[in-house]
Structure 1
């Protein structure tokens, strides 16, 4: 295990690029991605995910010592001694884990793996994936022996897209390794760039499990307040007022209702559930939370339609404006956004839906969801029969939402973000 290694980052998305830039401050880094368009964009010094400032990216790209080189050519990876895999781990339409990107990345690394190299995985997985699935692939394609010729580690990513305060170096990092020596090596490597510090887990499986329960815990807590929101709406009680009152107790956990999407909270629980079921255990609470949160999109649509009927607003053929399509606020990431569930359910009622989001990429929205996106607020009409605030982008705070609505319209606030005096309902 080399003392001053060249580090390769496999996958340059929301997780991989910020990590590559952080390591490039102290090490020579090779950033690899199979997406040639993404590589061309990065080579031009531009990050469309907006996770890395263009000046910071350009600085490490132009560095004369250490720095970052990005490539879509697998052979360039042969220069590295440490490989960090940060590819996505999604689920399929049946909510089953899809490990293909992880397996392909392991093949790519295995083909260039050398004596003494270390492979670290950051992708979210269920306990056992690194050693039971990825390592055998590394051995197969390298011809090397695990823990003799090469070593492995796992350090779960904790990137929070759109968060400019809790950036990669400011979030404490969990680390692990396949031998005590490898674990120390991996921990020291991350500690050299992570200013928030590190936590060395006793095994790779413990680190994998820690990651997958972080977001499962959040998912279950959000599911609870989503259920509370449904109950309190039936009782005609303001959920936000209840949560504010309960939140005055010192140990009350502050979660708010909403749509749960994205690449972590809406996905990770299924990884743990899958592993539990393989072992013969039915994870009741985890899956109940998932069912609750996965159903919130259609619930919001139904509540809006009910409000429209109560106000004698026409429903069939009505024009509805949905504000926001990204999975969270102030971020261009549309992966697994549950706003599309709201849109699809409204369209089943034959409503005409317009989607406006100043952050999202129109081409990506068309490709991912088959929907037209309006980026510019000046292109919106001013007579919508219903308006739904789905994502709490800062840009929507100053928007004249009421001015876009028709007389007798419905304004529904999913995020409790708008002025309460202009809305007809909220979660």
Structure 2
């Protein structure tokens, strides 16, 4: 007969139990660090390279151990799963890492344990996909022998203002007993407190709604940018004027990449199709954002058409920025890659530089060889992200790497609108 002692919170406080965080990326790593400031914590990742990178950095200062050995997490009492949940080439949810992590935890589960999921999923995924794996592998029953909760991650990479500790945590669980315990645990690490919801599906839905709302609003701005560009209207000035009304929400046009905003909408589309619902707005918004790479390339090619026609040497392009957003090394779902590919298809020689991106990562993920620095001269210079080290660049810098003043600077984020005077210039 199984022991059903679910008094986990007190055990963690008294250091009689430990937390295991599975997945030490941009979500799991800061989560593990915050847990370790209060509780005994083990950070687990399947990548031995990632573990070696982390070992020695925090282990002496707080109560944490990093490992890639499953045996090291077998005695934990709380398992927190924060692994990536991408979509596949057909835009369907790819749950492989999530279900594999569930199986790993299932092998470790003992009566009285808790499992909390933080990965972004569609509503119903935790209960329909993850819990059955836990039960099958462990031989235990959720609710009776172990508890499950879901608290969606809300990490914004490289955002010092909105952090794990000062952002309200949404908490849900399989029953009231689990909800109370998990809420107490997260209240220990999240200063902003927790928002309790009635069921796991509500918590799952809230996360995908957050991302989908941003995706739809950015898509609207992108379509407006396409129209206003054709009408020779300055989008930046339009936004400034519209923002003077109290209820206008100021989103900007641009490239939508990364692991969250372009992914979560497709989770909803997939879940809706299973229920014979066509989420036309959500789907079209994602398609609009995906098309921005092609739009930017076409607008750039139109503006250097005279250079292309009169060129006696290959047209050379420099792309500054390969990450999907500023000041990070994340290149997952970066729309810069299709931009580079389309420039090459237009017979351009393309160099890519990004001080934040590991060249080995770009090579492994996309087969790209990044340059350590620009190798001028260039006919087209495209700045895709607002890295801090790019902000203070000026007209003199771009002239120094341009082939001539007929070269084109494409400033996707509008950083240099008031700075560039002697180059051809284009921005959304």
Give the one of 31, 47, 51 matched to 2:43.
31
CA-CA distance at 1:312 after TM superposition: 6.2
Equivalent position of 1:390 in the other structure: 384
Q: 1:150-171: per-residue Cα shift (whole Å, max 9, x none)? A: 0100000011111122221111
CA distance in 2, matches of 1:412, 1:356: 15
CA distance in 2, matches of 1:280, 1:321: 46
Equivalent position of 2:408 in the other structure: 410
Decide whether aligned partners of structure 1 residues 135 and 312 sit closer, same or farther in structure 2, where only a CA change above 3 A counts. closer
Q: 1:78-133: per-residue Cα shift (whole Å, max 9, x none)? A: 12111100000001111111000000000000000010111000000000110110
Using the TM superposition, name which of 166-175 and 15-24 deviates more. Answer: 166-175
CA distance in 2, matches of 1:127, 1:335: 23
Q: 1:44-103: per-residue Cα shift (whole Å, max 9, x none)? A: 42xxxxxxxxxxxx2xx114xx61101101111112111100000001111111000000
CA distance in 1, matches of 2:370, 2:193: 41
CA distance in 2, matches of 1:275, 1:241: 39
Give the RMSD, CA atoms, in angstroms: 1.3
Using the TM superposition, name which of 278-287 and 401-410 deviates more. Answer: 401-410
CA distance in 1, matches of 2:351, 2:302: 19
Matched position secondary structure for 1:90? coil
1:374-385, aligned counterparts within 5 Å? 374-375=371-372, 377=373, 380-385=374-379
Using the TM superposition, name which of 338-347 and 415-424 deviates more. Answer: 415-424
CA distance in 2, matches of 1:69, 1:265: 32
CA distance in 2, matches of 1:396, 1:412: 14
Q: Is the 8 A contact 1:81 1:117 kept in 2?
A: yes
TM value normalised by structure 2: 0.93
Decide whether aligned partners of structure 1 residues 188 and 172 sit closer, same or farther in structure 2, where only a CA change above 3 A counts. same
Equivalent position of 2:293 in the other structure: 297
* Aligned pairs, number: 408
Q: Is the 8 A contact 1:313 1:409 kept in 2?
A: no
Flag structure 1 segments of 5+ consecutive residues without an equivalent.
46-57
CA-CA distance at 1:417 after TM superposition: 1.2
CA distance in 1, matches of 2:399, 2:18: 55
CA distance in 2, matches of 1:313, 1:360: 34
Equivalent position of 2:24 in the other structure: 12
Matched position secondary structure for 1:424? strand
Matched position secondary structure for 2:127? helix
Equivalent position of 2:363 in the other structure: 366
CA-CA distance at 1:390 after TM superposition: 0.5
CA distance in 1, matches of 2:188, 2:197: 17
CA-CA distance at 1:382 after TM superposition: 2.8
1:55-134, aligned counterparts within 5 Å? 58=58, 61-63=59-61, 67-134=63-130
CA distance in 2, matches of 1:172, 1:222: 24
Counterpart check, 1:265 vs 2:261: yes
Q: Is the 8 A contact 1:18 1:168 kept in 2?
A: yes
Decide whether aligned partners of structure 1 residues 314 and 180 sit closer, same or farther in structure 2, where only a CA change above 3 A counts. farther
Q: Which runs of 4+ in 1 moved over 2 A?
A: 310-317
Give the one of 164, 170, 175 matched to 2:171.
175
Equivalent position of 2:3 in the other structure: none
Q: 1:123-144: per-residue Cα shift (whole Å, max 9, x none)? A: 0000011011000000011010
Give the one of 391, 394, 398 matched to 1:401.
398
Matched position secondary structure for 1:176? strand
Q: 1:11-62: per-residue Cα shift (whole Å, max 9, x none)? A: 00110000000010000001100001101111142xxxxxxxxxxxx2xx11
CA distance in 2, matches of 1:150, 1:415: 49
CA distance in 2, matches of 1:90, 1:386: 33
Using the TM superposition, name which of 184-193 and 214-223 deviates more. Answer: 184-193
Equivalent position of 1:336 in the other structure: 333
1:142-153, aligned counterparts within 5 Å? 142-153=138-149
